[in-house]
């Protein structure tokens, strides 16, 4: 059983996820490693071969031209364009507000010792935009818009050759400087190493399938990555005030993403637990995407009954769900007691679907308990906080002596000499 669902004091499972076991990723790792090495060695030629092999694409030119971008935009349904621009406006406004909280710093911590930091945008970012089973028009918004707000010089977008044309329009509207029709591990390789046509980037962001995820893992180091994203997750925390129909609806809304979506209810109310289980079963009979959602629920659906509110909070923090909804009598107060999650939805009116699409918070979030140590994609992902220091003579008089002593005790003579030289010259000048 996964450590995420190991026995937990005070928790009884009305419904427990199946122990499906960890997938053997050896073949994926080997395939991705070969792709990365080949693209690094042969560039565009290798990219073209893998595009034909994996995507059945014979594109002679990878980059989407200005005219093709304009054509995709012109073909976009007018209402879809308005809705996309609505989402872009909200994500932009929130990202700008976040960036405004990140301020440069300059402080004199001791007389003559000045320390500080600057907020510097990453120079070039690569945004992977997944194709997926549906055209997720919000996907480019979530990765590209915050990068532009952060001040990234150049944003490169890659999306599979068979992606819906509306996705190109979404990349264009979101502000991508260049768009390439390259998918899979070969896209990650192209952005990480550069090819004859694709420039090498400094950081790669965005979710994708298992091959994309593995490629990001393997290229990390020479380039940065945002995170390693797994299948989507939603958990709902509810007490006796929870609405079974609404909870079931929200669980299934996320379950339709993928057959591996993790969906769960954590509650202190047994009556609600059984009501939600019955309601999920009922709604699956009428859900258009029931084939996917039902398998996700069958394999990964969870209903955990907790003996106390404190246990419910502790178990939720243990799960550290990607999306965490709070349906309790006083959701705002309850929310302040939680610490591990990707994004929090406070009160039953705040549905994951709004964040997924257009309300302004980012939907690229940590999964598989990574919320225990990190948050999701945000404008801060695209900037570096870099420190600096400068000293006056009075500062040298304070920091040089302990630096000399420490260097001596550590046996680092070069360090000692560098510190001592400045101290000697200061004393000579003062003499």
> Is 240 a known active-site residue?
no
Helices 184-193 and 26-42 sit at what angle, rounded to 10 degrees?
Answer: 50
* pLDDT tens for each residue of 300-318: 999 999 999 999 999 999 9
Catalytic residue selected from 279, 322, 348, 363: 322
One-letter-per-residue 3-state SS of the chain: CCHHHCCCCCEEEEECCCCCCCCCCHHHHHHHHHHHHHHHHHCHHHHHHHHHHHHCCCCCCCECCHHHHHHHHHHCCHHHHHHHHHHHHHHHHHHHHHHHCCCCEEEEEECCEEEEEEEEECCEEEEECCCCCCCCCHHHHHHHHHHHHHCCCEEEEECCCCCCHHHHHHHHHHCCCEEECCCHHHHHHHHHHCCCCCCCCCEEECCCCHHHHHHHHHHECCEEECCCCCCCEEEEEECCCCCHHHHHHHHHHHHCCCCCCEEEEEECCHHHHHHHHHHHHHHHCCCCCHHHHHHHHHHHCEEEEECCHHHHHHHHHHHCCCEEEEECCCHHHHHCCCCCCCEEEECCCCCHHHHHHCCCCCCCCCCCCHHHCCCCCCHHHHEEEEEEEEECHHHHHHHHHHHHHHHHHHCCHHHHHHHHHHHHHHHHHHC
Give the CATH superfamily of 230-375: Nitrogenase molybdenum iron protein domain (3.40.50.1980)
What is the domain partition of the chain in residue ranges? 26-226, 230-375, 392-430
Looking at residue 22, its pLDDT comes to 61
Other beta carbons within 10 angstroms of residue 4's beta carbon come to 15
CATH of 26-226, one of 3.40.50.1980, 3.40.50.300, 3.30.1600.10, 3.40.1050.10: 3.40.50.1980
The yes-or-no answer on residue 114 being catalytic is: no
Please state, as a whole number, how many other Cβ atoms lie within 10 Å of the Cβ of residue 82.
11
Q: Which of 323, 327, 348, 363 is catalytic?
A: 323
* Dist CA 198 CA 140 (whole Å): 18
- Give burial (CB, 10 Å; 0-12/13-18/19+) of 65: exposed
| pLDDT score for 334 | 98
Helix axes 244-255, 290-300, angle to 10 degrees: 100
Q: Which residues, at least 6 apart from 243, have a Cβ–Cβ distance to it below 8 Å?
A: 327, 348
Nearest-angstrom CA–CA distance, 322 and 363: 9
Q: What is the pLDDT along the chain (431 residues), one digit of tens a residue?
A: 455 666 789 999 999 998 766 667 789 999 999 999 999 999 999 999 999 999 888 888 999 999 999 999 999 999 999 999 999 999 999 999 999 999 999 999 999 999 999 999 999 999 999 986 667 889 999 999 999 999 999 999 999 998 999 999 999 999 999 999 999 999 999 999 999 999 999 999 999 999 999 999 999 999 999 999 889 999 999 999 999 999 999 999 999 999 999 999 999 999 999 999 999 999 999 999 999 999 999 999 999 999 999 999 999 999 999 999 999 999 999 999 999 999 999 999 999 999 999 999 999 999 999 999 999 999 999 999 999 999 999 999 999 999 999 999 999 999 999 999 999 999 988 86
pLDDT at 1: 42
């Amino acid at each position: 059983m996964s450590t995420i669902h190991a026995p937990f004091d005070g928790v009884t499972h009305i419904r427990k996820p199946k122990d499906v076991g960890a997938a053997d990723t050896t073949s994926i790792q080997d395939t991705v490693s070969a792709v990365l090495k080949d693209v690094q060695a042969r560039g565009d030629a290798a990219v073209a071969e893998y595009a034909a092999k994996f995507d059945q694409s014979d594109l002679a030119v990878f980059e989407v031209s200005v005219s093709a971008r304009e054509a995709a935009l012109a073909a976009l349904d007018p209402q879809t364009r308005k809705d996309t621009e609505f989402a872009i406006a909200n994500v932009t406004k929130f990202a700008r507000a976040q960036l405004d909280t990140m301020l440069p710093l300059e402080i004199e911590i001791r007389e003559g010792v000045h320390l500080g930091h600057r907020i510097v945008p990453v120079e070039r970012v690569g945004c992977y935009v997944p194709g997926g089973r549906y055209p997720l028009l919000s996907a480019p918004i979530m990765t590209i818009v915050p990068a532009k707000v952060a001040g990234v010089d150049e944003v490169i977008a890659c999306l599979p050759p068979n992606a819906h044309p509306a996705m190109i329009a979404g990349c264009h509207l979101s502000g991508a400087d260049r768009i390439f029709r390259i998918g899979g591990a070969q896209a990650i390789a192209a952005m990480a190493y550069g090819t004859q046509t694709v420039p090498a980037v400094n950081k790669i962001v965005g979710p994708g399938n298992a091959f994309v995820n593995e490629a990001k893992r393997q290229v990390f180091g020479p380039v940065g990555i945002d995170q390693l994203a797994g299948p989507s997750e939603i958990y709902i925390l509810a007490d006796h005030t929870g609405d079974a129909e609404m909870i079931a609806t929200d669980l299934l809304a996320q379950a339709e993403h993928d057959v591996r979506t993790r969906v769960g209810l954590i509650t202190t109310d047994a009556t609600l637990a059984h009501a939600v289980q019955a309601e999920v079963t009922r709604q699956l009979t009428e859900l258009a995407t029931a084939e996917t959602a039902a398998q996700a629920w069958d394999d990964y659906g969870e209903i955990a009954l907790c003996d106390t509110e404190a246990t419910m909070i502790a178990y939720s923090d243990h799960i550290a769900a990607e999306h965490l909804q709070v349906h309790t009598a006083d959701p705002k107060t309850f929310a302040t007691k939680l610490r591990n999650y990707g994004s929090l939805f406070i009160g039953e009116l705040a549905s994951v679907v709004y964040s997924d699409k257009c309300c302004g918070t980012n939907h690229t979030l940590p999964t598989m308990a990574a919320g225990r140590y990190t948050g999701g994609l945000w404008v801060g992902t695209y900037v570096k906080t870099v420190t600096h220091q400068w000293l006056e003579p009075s500062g040298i008089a304070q920091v040089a002596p302990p630096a000399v002593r420490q260097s001596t005790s550590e046996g680092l003579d070069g360090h000692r000499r560098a510190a001592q030289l400045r101290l000697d010259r200061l004393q000579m000048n003062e003499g």
